[in-house]
Amino acid sequence: MQKTINFLMLPLLLLSFITSFYSCYEMYMTDDSNPEPSIEPTPESIIPVFPEINLKQGDTDFAAGTGSYDFKDVVADGDGASTSGYTLFTIENLGDADLIIASAALNTGDTDDFDLIDSILSPLPPGNSTIFSIRFDPLTVGEKSATLTIANNDPDEGTYTTTLLGITPGARRTKNTGDVNFNMRFIPAGDYYVGKNPPGNNNVTLTRGYWMAETEVTWELWEEVYTWATANGYNFENTGKGSTKTNQHPVSEISWRDCIVWCNAISEKEGLLPVYTYLNAVVRDSGDGFATACDNAVFNYNANGYRLPTEAEWEIAARGASVGVVEETYGSIYAGSNTIDNVAWYADNSNYGTHRVGTKGYNELGIADMTGNIREWCWDWFGTIYPTTGVYSIGQISGTERIIRGGAWNTLASGCSITDRKSIIPNLPKSSGLRFVKIE
């Protein structure tokens, strides 16, 4: 018998099938034994996080490998106990992951001249900082440097380095012009006493350190520069005088005007910026026809060339850059000693002439002949106004005579003390020489 399909039953069968399927699906989705498969992130979707180290002192950041911190000047007393305070440094984590600092250490260079107190916290969370301190504590005189190394987990700067610098009063540098060498000593900025008055009456503050020639300018050095200068547009009223015995005696018989022109000449010869100008032109002639230009020359405070010291700079250097006053005295009477024969060629022992520079005792800075041998010109006009606080502490700014200090081979002991002040008209070359200074 042939079977037939009842089409009226199809909708009911379809509905029963859908209901059964949905019921099975719900059971499957609620069954913990069949979890929904997870979607693993691709490498491209992961944002990496790293620590980032930064070193600061105050508001100054130090670039790793190229940065440096200068402790300026500290007296070297050899006892390893500097009177200067510790300087705080800050390590920052500018990254997004913990910064792990394995160590901070001084290595390479003059490590014994710096002290480090490691109080560093580690690990350092993002956005946090920690501090440590260092002081410059020099054992010997000189220019010092050491490398600070901070080992950490910054992937870019895992060995973070910066250079520490320091300089002591009396630090020595050897310079040259042509074949002639000469030495210079460092005198730091600071508060000083000058003059004969009781302490406190003549306090000066130098706001910038400077370098001073270790000896008076020798005939050898004078002649080297003089020869170059006269071949390159310079002219001198006086040729200067040396000794027939050796070219290492100080040059003498030069005027104040000759000195500032010579200082401009050695500066230009060595590629430095000359200090003395008149009407915006470098002063190159000390002849009488150029007296106005010389006597009204402008002192460029920021020029890095050689120049005469101010009176305050001269006296501070002669005193050994001592800032202390003991029992209301100013230290030694002469530059380096209370006994003049130890440090000076003067009227009683010179045998009527100059002597080779540096053959008597040196002062505390390692500077020779600031007492005796030859008198030394200073920049200042002579007057009753004594130097006061300033970059170079200049005294009277006008007058008729220029300051000359230190005494000479023909000066009595009473005229050779550190505080003795003399003056001469600027075109007179009487028994006079020079000692120069410069800034960095």
Which of 199-203, 220-224, 247-251 is predicted least confidently?
199-203
pLDDT at 355 over 70: yes
What average pLDDT does the structure give for the chain? 85
386-440 pLDDT per residue, tens: 666 555 667 777 899 999 999 999 999 999 999 898 999 999 987 899 999 999 7
pLDDT at 14 over 70: no
Domain-ending residue, one of 167, 190, 215 = 167
Confidence of residue 27 (pLDDT cuts 50, 70, 90): low
Percentage of the chain exceeding pLDDT 70: 81
User: Among residues 168, 212, 141, which one has the least CA distance to residue 70?
Assistant: 168
CA distance 189 to 168: 11
pLDDT at 181 over 50: yes
My answer on whether 142 and 226 are in the same domain is: no
- The more confident residue out of 139 and 207 is 139
List beta partners, residue 117. Answer: 133
CA distance 281 to 272: 15
pLDDT at 133 over 80: yes
Confidence of residue 62 (pLDDT cuts 50, 70, 90): confident
CA distances from 34 to 23, 29, 38, 41 (A): 16, 7, 12, 21
Cβ-Cβ contacts under 8 Å for 329 (sequence gap 6 or more): none
List the 180-187 sheet strands across, edge first: 172-177, 180-187, 210-213, 437-438
pLDDT at 126 over 70: yes
What is residue 51's predicted lDDT score, i.e. its pLDDT?
95
pLDDT at 137 over 60: yes
What is residue 332's predicted lDDT score, i.e. its pLDDT?
85
SS3 at position 430:
coil
Give, for 224, the enclosing helix (H) or strand (E): helix 219-230
CA distance 155 to 153: 6
pLDDT at 82 over 60: no
My answer on whether 161 and 179 are in the same domain is: no
> Residue 169 has what DSSP assignment?
T
My answer on whether 350 and 280 are in the same domain is: yes
My answer on whether 141 and 228 are in the same domain is: no
Handedness of CA 116, 121, 122, 128 (dihedral sign): negative
My answer on whether 103 and 194 are in the same domain is: no
My answer on whether 155 and 181 are in the same domain is: no
pLDDT at 10 over 90: no
pLDDT at 112 over 70: yes
pLDDT at 21 over 60: no
What is the mean pLDDT of the segment spanning 76-95?
71
Q: Is 84 exposed, middle or buried (0-12, 13-18, 19+ CB in 10 A)?
A: middle
- The more confident residue out of 113 and 6 is 113
Cβ-Cβ contacts under 8 Å for 280 (sequence gap 6 or more): none
My answer on whether 162 and 182 are in the same domain is: no
6 belongs to a structural domain: no
My answer on whether 147 and 296 are in the same domain is: no
My answer on whether 139 and 190 are in the same domain is: no
pLDDT at 93 over 60: yes
What is residue 81's predicted lDDT score, i.e. its pLDDT?
44
227 belongs to a structural domain: yes
Give the number of domains in the chain. Answer: 2
What is residue 288's predicted lDDT score, i.e. its pLDDT?
87
HSE, side-chain direction, 13 A CA sphere, residue 7? 0
What is residue 30's predicted lDDT score, i.e. its pLDDT?
55
Give the structural domain span for 159.
Answer: 53-167
User: What count of other Cβ atoms lies within 10 Å of the Cβ of residue 303?
Assistant: 18
373 belongs to a structural domain: yes
268-325 pLDDT per residue, tens: 999 999 999 999 999 999 998 999 999 999 999 899 999 999 998 999 999 888 754 4
Domain-ending residue, one of 116, 140, 167 = 167
pLDDT at 40 over 50: yes
187-205 pLDDT per residue, tens: 988 878 777 654 445 677 7
What is residue 244's predicted lDDT score, i.e. its pLDDT?
79
360-401 pLDDT per residue, tens: 999 999 999 999 999 999 999 998 766 665 556 677 778 999
